[in-house]
Amino acid sequence: MMFNPTKIKDVEIRNRIARSATHEGLGNHKGEPTAKHRELYNQLAEGQVGLLITCAAVVERFKIEFPENAGLAYPIFIDRDELAELWKPIVADVQARGAKIAMQIVHTGRQTLPALLGGEPPFGPSAVEEKNLGTMPREMTVSEIKDMIEKFAQAVRRGKQAGFDSVQLHGGHGYLISSFISPYTNRRTDEYGGDTERRARFIVDIVRRARELVGENYPIMIKMNCDDFVPGGLTMDESVRLARLIESAGIDCIEITAGIWETHDRISKKGINKVEKEAYFYPYAEALRKAVGIPLILVGGMRSPKVIEKVLSDGVADMVSLCRPFIREPQLIRRWKEGDLSKARCISCNKCTENTFRRTLRCYVEELEKEKRAKTKNKE
């Protein structure tokens, strides 16, 4: 089934495999896309990925300016219309190679490093300590929430302007949208906090405003947390109710994920060396499948074609998404399609994720292998 075409709204996708977003650090110091994005995305498209989801583009600029040519893992932004114009040729290249491409958009919220804010504290729905960073965010005002809703909606509009086939809201991993839907991080008592419906309002308002800008036919997706893995946090049962609410609001596809920075070891699990360890978010897809009718994408440790086929044939998800395997093997899907069905070469060491914001995207195992091959060649 993984090579069968599928659709999200009216967007036809050539197979059931998506590349899940990850921070690539390939932008320039201004937060603009570069030739490195084009090279990476073209490799993935030529490698037969069906749907390519970009690195998350930030909807609000940080309060510091990055030095030029400093070798940093620069973020990208989508806070200005001219950025959409810079993405147009990259998007067109990917589409010319038969893949569809979606832009992921994000605000890092309470998990923003204070250094990026000029020393100011980050903000979130409530003042709840971020234990991974040891920072205390300040609570957003209702006026700030309304302003942020507009920033997300305008970012969706810019995604459409750039020619992306879809835009994906990053509603996972403890970032701003995720922190609004979680009872662990959202302890507000106004219209944006309290019961499930009010905590979902931030997403609902973003989607409704975005629809005014891009119309009813443009696909808007979300990567949604289904469990925070912290006491008092979001759980599977509540994620089902959330999924129903955001489907009613107009979300067209949900990519299923879980975990926040404080539980980062459960987002990308290490040592996936047996099929039994793959598809570790399967139960969440199973639960959401019973609740919603929109397409679901399952991420989480899939390495073997037979596991992917089972997920799809079971009907719990319409697509699967991989990330770490594509860092080592951009041509993975082409390899499988051509008949080599051995599992992905990724060993789930997590060196890539551990260095996500420190260095540009790379497979550290592959780097070592290349060094060994070069040394062997030199000896010969």
| 179-228 tens-digit pLDDT | 999 999 999 999 999 999 999 999 999 999 999 999 999 999 999 999 99
pLDDT (mean) for 43-60: 98
Catalytic residue positions, numbered: 175
Could you tell me if 78 and 105 are in contact, meaning their C-beta atoms sit under 8 angstroms apart?
yes
Q: Which of 54, 43, 45, 98 is nearest to 76 (CA)?
A: 54
Longest dimension (CA), the chain: 71
pLDDT class of 335 with cuts at 50, 70, 90: very high
pLDDT of 372 over the 90 cut: no
E strand intervals along the chain: 6-8, 11-13, 17-19, 51-53, 57-58, 76-77, 100-106, 123-124, 138-139, 166-171, 220-225, 253-257, 296-299, 319-322
Q: Which of 41, 131, 126, 28 is nearest to 83 (CA)?
A: 28
Q: What is the mean pLDDT of the chain?
A: 96
Q: Which of 96, 91, 67 is nearest to 78 (CA)?
A: 91
pLDDT of 370 over the 80 cut: no
| Predicted local distance difference test score (pLDDT) of residue 8 | 98
pLDDT of 162 over the 70 cut: yes
pLDDT of 322 over the 80 cut: yes
| Predicted local distance difference test score (pLDDT) of residue 369 | 80
pLDDT class of 356 with cuts at 50, 70, 90: confident
Segments in 47-137 forming alpha helices (H): 81-96
pLDDT of 377 over the 70 cut: no
pLDDT of 367 over the 90 cut: no
**Calpha distance 109→19 (Å, rounded):** 24
pLDDT (mean) for 97-104: 98
pLDDT class of 231 with cuts at 50, 70, 90: very high
pLDDT of 270 over the 70 cut: yes
Q: What is the CATH number of domain 6-379?
A: 3.20.20.70
| Predicted local distance difference test score (pLDDT) of residue 379 | 65
> What are the beta bridge partners of residue 171?
224
pLDDT class of 380 with cuts at 50, 70, 90: low
| Predicted local distance difference test score (pLDDT) of residue 344 | 97
**Calpha distance 136→127 (Å, rounded):** 6
The percentage of residues in the chain with a pLDDT greater than 70, rounded to a whole number, is 98
pTM for the full predicted model: 0.96
| Predicted local distance difference test score (pLDDT) of residue 358 | 87
| Predicted local distance difference test score (pLDDT) of residue 357 | 86
Q: Can you state the angle between helices 142-161 and 201-214, rounded to 10 degrees?
A: 40
Residues with Cβ within 8 Å of 275's Cβ and at least 6 positions away in sequence, in order, are 303, 304, 306, 307
| Predicted local distance difference test score (pLDDT) of residue 106 | 98
| 243-253 tens-digit pLDDT | 999 999 999 99
**Calpha distance 106→86 (Å, rounded):** 19
pLDDT (mean) for 143-157: 98
